[in-house]
A = this chain, B = another copy of it.
Amino acid sequence: MKDVAQIAGVSVSTVSRVINNNIPVDKETRLKVEEAIRQLRYKPNLLAKGLRLRSGGIIGLVVPEIIHQTFVNFIHYVEESVVDSGFELILGNTHGDPEKEERFIDSLIRRNVDGIIFSRVSDQSRVLNILEKTNIPIVIIDRFLENENIPSIVLDNYKAGLLAGQHLVQYHHRKIACITGPLNIALSRERLKGFKAALSEAGAILPDDFIYEGDFKFESGLAAVEKFLSDEIEMTAIWAQNDMMAIGALKVLNQHGIQVPEDISLMGMDNISSSEMITPALTTITQPFQEMCQKAVNVIINRKGKKELAPSRIVLEPSLIIRDSTCPLLRESVC
C-alpha cells in the first residue's frame, strides 16, 4: 500500500479512500492510484483490514457432521449466501462434541468473525453462554432451543408430521406405522405429534407398537421394519421421519418380497437426492433449505453493529412431494 501511494505520488490514506471509495477523491488522483494498483498488482491485505475494523469478513458455520445430506445442504446454501453477501465461510465439524464446539467457537471469536451459524448445537455445550458475552451475531439453524433468547431458524416440524399423516390418510390408509428420529430430540417429537394429529383427525390411532424409535440412520430403517414384521404388525403404510430410514425400510421390504407401494405405501422426509433416484421414487416431505440458510445469513448481517439482539424465531414451512412410493389403498388393493 505504501508502494502504491509512492508510485501514485499520494499518501496511503488516499489509496485507502480509493479502494473503499466511501470518501470523495478527486477523479484524477483516483485514476493515478488505480493505475499504480494495477501496475503493482496490489491486493489489500484482509487480516490488516480485519484487525483494524474488528471485523474479519468471515462467517463461521458449525455443523455436527459433514457426511449427511442435511448438513451438506446447509453447507452448500450457507456458503452460497455468505459469499453473495461478500464474506467468506469458515467451516467447522464438531462431531457433536462440546469440547470441539468450544475450541472452534473460540478461534472464530479470535478471528473477529462477523457472525456464527450453528446447526444443532449440542445441549450440554457451554458455547452459547460464551457467545452471549461477546456481541458476535449468532443464529441457530434447524434446532429449537427452549429458553434461549437467541435467534433461530427452524422448520415447522409439527406441520411436517401433519402433512405426512394427512397424505396417507387421504389415501385411505388407517393402519400406519411410523419410524421416528431419536425422541429426546424435540424435532422428532414434534413430527410425531403432528403425525398423530393427522391420524386422529381421520379417526385413526397410532398404537405404540406401530412406532419405532430410530436414529435417522439407514440401519435403523432396516431394524424398524424387521421389528414390525417379526411383531406381525398389520400396516398398510409406513412413514419414516427421514429419507435415510425410509430407504432402509424399503430395502427390508424388498427383501421380504413386499411390494412398495402395492402392498405397503412408504414415505420419508427431507427429499434427499437418493429419494428420487431409487425405485420406487420416494414420496417425501421437503424442507426449504435454501431459504433457511439465506435467512440465517440475513439475520447475522442485519444484526451486525446493533448492540441489542432482537431474538427472533423464524419458522419455515415444509411441503409434500408425492412420488411413486405411496398409493391409495383400495379394497382390491390395486394401485
A interface vs B, CB < 8 Å?
43-48, 50-51, 56-58, 66-67, 72-73, 75-76, 79-80, 83, 88-93, 104, 106-107, 109-112, 218, 247-248, 250-251, 254-255, 273-274, 277-279
Chain B residues lying within 8 Å of A75, measured Cβ to Cβ, are 66, 75, 91
Q: How far is the CA of A83 from the CA of B51 in the complex (A)?
A: 23
Known: A72-B72, A73-B67, A274-B274. Contact between A46 and B110, CB under 8 A?
yes
- What's the nearest-Cβ distance from chain B to residue A52, in Å? 9
Chain B residues lying within 8 Å of A79, measured Cβ to Cβ, are 66, 91-93
Chain B residues lying within 8 Å of A247, measured Cβ to Cβ, are 274, 277-278
- What's the nearest-Cβ distance from chain B to residue A91, in Å? 5
Contact A67 B72 (CB under 8 A): yes
Chain B residues lying within 8 Å of A66, measured Cβ to Cβ, are 72, 75-76, 79
Chain B residues lying within 8 Å of A274, measured Cβ to Cβ, are 247, 274, 277-278
Copies of this protein in the assembly total: 2
Residue of B nearest to A222 (CB): B277
Contact B277 A218 (CB under 8 A): yes
Q: How far is the CA of A111 from the CA of B72 in the complex (A)?
A: 25
Contact A56 B47 (CB under 8 A): yes
Residue of B nearest to A252 (CB): B279
Name the 8 nearest CB pairs between A and B, nearest first. Answer: A66-B76, A47-B51, A46-B110, A274-B274, A254-B279, A91-B91, A47-B50, A47-B47
Contact A43 B106 (CB under 8 A): yes
Contact A45 B112 (CB under 8 A): yes
Contact of A273 among B67, B83, B279 (CB under 8 A): B67
Chain B residues lying within 8 Å of A72, measured Cβ to Cβ, are 66-67, 72
Q: How far is the CA of A37 from the CA of B105 in the complex (A)?
A: 18
Contact A112 B251 (CB under 8 A): no
Chain B residues lying within 8 Å of A91, measured Cβ to Cβ, are 75, 79, 89-91
Q: How far is the CA of A95 from the CA of B43 in the complex (A)?
A: 24
- What's the nearest-Cβ distance from chain B to residue A112, in Å? 6
- What's the nearest-Cβ distance from chain B to residue A309, in Å? 21
Contact of A48 among B51, B76, B250, B278 (CB under 8 A): B51
Contact A76 B67 (CB under 8 A): yes
Contact B51 A110 (CB under 8 A): no
Chain B residues lying within 8 Å of A51, measured Cβ to Cβ, are 45, 47-48, 51
Residue of B nearest to A103 (CB): B83
Chain B residues lying within 8 Å of A67, measured Cβ to Cβ, are 72-73, 76, 273
Q: How far is the CA of A89 from the CA of B277 in the complex (A)?
A: 32
Cross-chain pairs A/B with CB under 8 angstroms, 24 sampled:
A43-B106, A44-B110, A45-B51, A45-B110, A45-B112, A46-B107, A46-B110, A46-B111, A47-B50, A47-B56, A47-B111, A48-B51, A58-B90, A67-B73, A67-B76, A67-B273, A76-B93, A79-B93, A88-B107, A88-B111, A247-B274, A247-B278, A251-B278, A251-B279
